[in-house]
Amino acid sequence: MSEPNLDELLGVIGGITDKLAKIPEGAEIFQKLRKGEITAEEAVGQLLPLIKGAGLLPDMLAAQAQVTGITGHFGDLEASRRPIMMQTSTGQPQLNPIYEAAIIERASLDGDVPELRYGPLPEDGSPAVPVLTRALDPVIVGMQLERASETVQRRIDDALEDHAAACTPLLEQANREAAELGLDPETALAVAKKLLPAVPTGVEGYQAGENPSLMVMPDIPITDIIRLTDAQASHYAYQALATTQGRVTLSHPIQEKVLDQLILKGFQVEPGSPNPDQQVTATWTMRAWGSDDFSGRFNFTLVAIGSLATSLAASAMMRKEIPQVLSVTPFNGIADRQFGWLARLGPRS
């Protein structure tokens, strides 16, 4: 059974959203959701009849088969076949509690799940921003992740301030016009609020309903690294492993080094997506419940690189002379705190 393909799943979900947004009723529901006039649960309830009426249920079922790409690996085949949507005892639609719990669990680790969010960033959330880096030290990567999150948070705060500044004169104008016409101010303001621009749900590269872009961050000064206590180093290393943005960030440098090791072993290999029917796979994972579980001075990425390269080479030795491609992606064992990377090697698909 092939691993969940996140791009395909998001493509299905995104396609459903695009089709619903073209229906007047669907566009109105999305607009209300963005403005905070209805909750996500209310939006789902209102959209379900439209999904059925537009014949989009087969697309939802197609997404169901790969939903664990977002929520994590559940560890058993039966669990991975559970439906996305269920019905309450009153017949109302609801998200399967298994997936809902997994999404909440992921949000508690990452700070945010932007691709599953339509409204603004929650007040208690923090941007989950992956970083474009070649660093292999988990501590450095953790520090880069923190600074990227802080940078995006500042940009979001600025966007919200600009939105408030744009809305204030419109509301003041509505209040003046209501007074001139002798209308109830509260009624006039309620009408005006419906005409206001939507509250920003993100900034460039970090938008609701989309995968966040990799952010280029400056190198961490060596003086900042030297000053870290053991507890701080462990915290940053844990963030690099336990967050989705951390594993996404490290996938790229890990893939580069696994590729180098395979080439040194005599393989003809380059980056790419191997044929699922002809590939060999290797997985390296580590269980971590908190930053106290391991030392920040332990460079687990180097262990992962050696393990993945050795395992792939042993599995694919018989076709060593055949051109192959390599892909390294995060392993998201969120439910049982099993984190790491999956490497796939084989002929190009």
Residue of 9 and 331 predicted with greater confidence: 331
Please enumerate in sequence order all residues whose Cβ is within 8 A of that of 240, keeping only pairs 6 or more positions apart, or say none: 138, 139, 141, 142, 145, 246, 247, 249, 250
d(CA 248, CA 115): 14
Where are any strands of DSSP class E within 75-145?
A: 85-87, 93-95, 131-132
Please enumerate in sequence order all residues whose Cβ is within 8 A of that of 247, keeping only pairs 6 or more positions apart, or say none: 240, 241, 330, 331, 332, 339, 340, 341
Average pLDDT over residues 24-44: 67
d(CA 209, CA 113): 9
Cβ(201)–Cβ(118) under 8 Å?
yes
DSSP element (H, E) containing 347 = none
DSSP element (H, E) containing 73 = none
CB atoms within 10 A of CB 177: 12
pLDDT at residue number 185: 66
pLDDT band at residue 228 using 50, 70 and 90 as cut-offs = very high
Cβ(215)–Cβ(133) under 8 Å?
no
Report pTM. 0.72
CB atoms within 10 A of CB 24: 8
CATH 3.30.2400 positions along the chain are 222-346
pLDDT at residue number 12: 43
Average pLDDT over residues 58-79: 48
pLDDT band at residue 6 using 50, 70 and 90 as cut-offs = very low
Q: Which range among 31-35, 151-155, 224-228, 265-269 shows the weakest confidence by mean pLDDT?
A: 31-35
Residue pointed to by tokens 């380059």? 270
Q: Indicate left, alpha or beta for 335 from its phi (over 0: left) and psi (-120 to 50: alpha).
A: alpha
pLDDT band at residue 199 using 50, 70 and 90 as cut-offs = confident
CATH of domain 222-346: 3.30.2400
Q: Which range among 55-64, 188-197, 199-208, 336-345 shows the weakest confidence by mean pLDDT?
A: 55-64
pLDDT at residue number 152: 97
Cβ(106)–Cβ(58) under 8 Å?
no
d(CA 311, CA 328): 13
pLDDT at residue number 68: 46
48, 159, 190 from 181: Cα distances, Å: 42, 34, 16
Residues, the chain, total? 349
Give 19-38 as a DSSP string: HHHTSHHHHHHHHHHHTTSS
Q: What percent of the chain has pLDDT over 70?
A: 69
Average pLDDT over residues 1-27: 54
Please enumerate in sequence order all residues whose Cβ is within 8 A of that of 199, keeping only pairs 6 or more positions apart, or say none: 34, 35, 36, 119, 120, 160, 163
- The yes-or-no verdict on residue 267 having pLDDT over 50 is yes
Nearest of 247, 243, 226 to residue 301 by alpha carbon: 247
| Single-letter code of the amino acid located at 267 | F
Residue pointed to by tokens 């208690």? 124
Q: How far apart are the first and last CA of the chain?
A: 16
74, 166, 305 from 335: Cα distances, Å: 7, 43, 24
